[in-house]
């Protein structure tokens, strides 16, 4: 397959801390409807919020399934420490029941604000009703929750559909519109898995020669991505695949290991495309093994704290704040690698 070099346009400056994540609550207009999107404020380099010190924040995290998630957690914890926020933190280990239990614990502890990144989109209404009855505002971070507008105060996150579209548009140009694609999807039922798949299919649908011949979850982990890719490459379908699209960099990096184990060259024999833009992904691009990564900035701590301070003060926030993500390929990876903060 002949691959033409594609010049990448940068949609966002990589070192800025943005009010980011990946989606928007389902009750909002579809991702990409810009009238509902409020640009993310720049918070890097600002002084601590006057109302942050002593603020009680409960945060229910998805887990530690990827480099992206680790960076996201560190951003939240470090910002809370920096600004004197009393953080109650829970790692759900990718289980919704653990997040629900944590949110109920935060309510019982009487925190000022609750924030969480939903493992999946559905099933949150009952516990968020409990938070509403307790008059505790809720921030939805990174992944959206499928709940009515009145059950959350604001959403901070990226446009996952747009990320998928950007990946698909890049692939159309990269391949000339002809390829057999293996898709490694994220956690089933999660907003990034749903939306990235949707956006990607919309973009590649414009090229009849681009076909998804395999799609299976890699659970957003490097280990599972490698396992799924190993099994695929041993199958008859695996012999036809010349593109891998992974919903995050960690799965792509696992797939790269599996490809190398067969003697093939990732990035050359098989084009590898992913989303997140983590440092390990950039290193793989510099090494010629990953072809492209769409950015999804995890450094949300400053923006979550800023939103929590405003909510405690009784202010009303926009329902949705979206970051404009960037896209990077091998042609710019070496230059951009030093700028990676995660």
Instruction: Give per-residue pLDDT as tens, 192-212.
Output: 999 999 999 999 999 999 999
Whether pLDDT at 19 is above 50: no
Q: Which CATH number fits domain 34-158+298-323: 2.160.20.60, 3.90.1170.50, 3.40.50.2300, 3.40.50.970?
A: 3.40.50.2300
Q: Which CATH number fits domain 160-295: 3.40.50.300, 1.20.272.10, 3.40.50.2300, 3.90.600.10?
A: 3.40.50.2300
Whether pLDDT at 341 is above 60: yes
Q: What is the pLDDT of residue 154?
A: 97
Beta bridge partners of 179: 210
The whole-model pTM stands at: 0.81
The answer to whether 108 and 133 are in contact (CB under 8 A) is no
Q: How far apart are CA 269 and CA 65, in angstroms?
A: 28
Whether pLDDT at 12 is above 90: no
* Residue-wise pLDDT tens digits, 278-311: 999 999 999 999 999 999 989 999 999 999 999 9
Mean pLDDT of 322-327: 84
3-class DSSP assignment, residue 38:
strand
Q: Residue 308: name the closest of 137, 148, 132 by CA.
A: 137
Which sign, positive or negative, has the C-alpha torsion 304, 107, 118, 337? positive
Whether pLDDT at 55 is above 70: yes
Look up residue 29 and give its two tokens. 């207009």
**274/16: higher pLDDT:** 274
């Amino acid at each position: 397959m002949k691959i033409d070099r594609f010049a990448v346009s940068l949609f966002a400056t990589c070192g800025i801390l943005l009010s980011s994540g990946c989606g928007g609550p389902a009750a909002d207009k579809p991702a990409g409807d810009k009238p509902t999107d409020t640009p993310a404020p720049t918070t890097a380099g600002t002084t601590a919020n006057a109302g942050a010190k002593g603020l009680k924040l409960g945060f229910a995290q998805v887990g530690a399934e990827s480099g992206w998630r680790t960076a996201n957690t560190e951003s939240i914890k470090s910002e809370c420490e920096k600004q004197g926020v009393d953080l109650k933190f829970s790692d759900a280990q990718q289980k919704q029941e653990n997040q629900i239990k944590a949110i109920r614990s935060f309510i019982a502890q009487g925190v000022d604000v609750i924030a969480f990144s939903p493992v999946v989109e559905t099933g949150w209404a009952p516990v968020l009703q409990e938070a509403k009855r307790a008059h505790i505002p809720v921030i939805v971070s990174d992944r959206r929750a499928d709940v009515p507008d009145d059950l959350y105060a604001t959403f901070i996150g990226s446009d996952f559909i747009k990320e998928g579209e950007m990946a698909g548009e890049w692939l159309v140009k990269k391949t000339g519109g002809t390829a057999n694609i293996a898709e490694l999807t994220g956690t089933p039922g999660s907003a990034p898995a749903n939306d990235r798949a949707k956006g990607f299919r919309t973009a590649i649908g414009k090229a009849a020669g681009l076909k998804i011949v395999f799609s299976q979850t890699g659970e957003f982990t490097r280990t599972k991505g490698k396992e799924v890719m190993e099994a695929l490459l041993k199958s008859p379908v695996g012999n036809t695949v010349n593109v891998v699209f992974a919903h995050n960099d960690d799965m792509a990096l696992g797939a790269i290991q599996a490809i190398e184990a067969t003697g093939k060259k990732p990035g050359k024999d098989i084009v590898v495309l992913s989303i997140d833009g983590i440092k390990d992904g950039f290193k793989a691009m510099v090494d010629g093994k990953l072809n492209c990564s769409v950015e999804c900035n995890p450094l949300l701590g400053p923006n979550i704290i800023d939103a929590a301070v405003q909510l405690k003060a009784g202010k009303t926030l926009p329902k949705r704040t979206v970051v404009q993500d960037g896209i990077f390929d091998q042609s710019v990876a070496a230059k951009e690698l030093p700028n990676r903060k995660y």
